[in-house]
Chains A and B, each alone.
Chain A
């Protein structure tokens, strides 16, 4: 009985975020500008610097960084997600939701689901760019990719909810994320092969959840490409199964922490 009420409330809140996403198309489009710039600068620009095929014979450099672009795009969207929570709480709609007879856990879960939904929409659009960089994933690959994206988006959205429930102003939230996102991004294996970097970078990268997500994206996106054994061991750090387990554990911990923190919020 109680559960049915919570599901109805949660579904409605999820629907609201999705409805707004499709209504405010500018947000989807602007979310694509950053990855296109990244692809332009790092892909096409560095391709010449690095000389031809990049680090691997089988892959372009642009193909090499494409999974990283997906990862950072998903991470970036948590910022928007978290900012809307902070703004919504201080002067907006979230107060109406928080005063309703609905469990905070439901609200936190609805927000995380909305983050995952937004990520899937954005990655779908991003994948329209894939053929232009020479990646033509099959349906099966796309399904697996969406699963992996959902897994990462659960972790990052929960992180967004967690931080938003602890922070009062939109400015400090954005500030905090600016501070976090670049180290996460650069120390994740998105741009360079982790097997060849100094040990301390490798150590930090191994603590970074984005590393595992991007590794998983590579497993999935390159599964149609013939890689020789040397490239494969250089390119892919863990097994896909290890990646899934690690990201799932991180997601679970962040989800529990965010739900707890959200329900304690005044």
Chain B
């Protein structure tokens, strides 16, 4: 078990309205404290906006602009450029959005910000569905997962957003998990020092959305990482891949069993998912190995 070594600078307050046991709130706490107070946030409608919360209260010490669902990256670009024009180029501009706001409706704005290499840190809380609206599928929902709009399981695979982003050759992309908080803090700190568009994707096992027990989100995230369903890695300039963990356990069964959204799976479905994970994992390893 690792000791979590980060200093809480009081950038994230208790009393917020996340579901009890939500690891998105935990991740937000680590991210906000790592970035520190010279940060301005933009948040898209999503659980993170709800967690940051109701006016006039805010769970964040930094100021946050609550923007529209599809334009988080554009709004963050606007904040960054305006601060620059006013001589405040050092301020970090943090963009928070869910997977719906990133993989789906906000992809156009994100792609454009990435193409312009806007100097923003974009964090996507990937809970693999539209949880704020009650748990419908997004293009980040994995194959076979049941959601409100895919009651018998989604028939298509999860969109590989990371490869799409890598194709933009932005300076930094990373995946992080609330089961590995030191790694999360380190990657966020690293991203903050890099100029240009940085995207960090956070795995968020969602308690009601995935059917995970209230005390089990961290363990579920850990199994996701260890089984290779959600590999931890970094991509620099779209081409240099570095695996944070370059081994994985064979079985995704333990991960699947924690989640009610997969309880209808047959043996064959599980095998299909396992094959998909294995294939993605070996492609990733190969990419990391060719990186010099």
A joins B in a complex: no
Residues of B within 8 A of A (CB): none
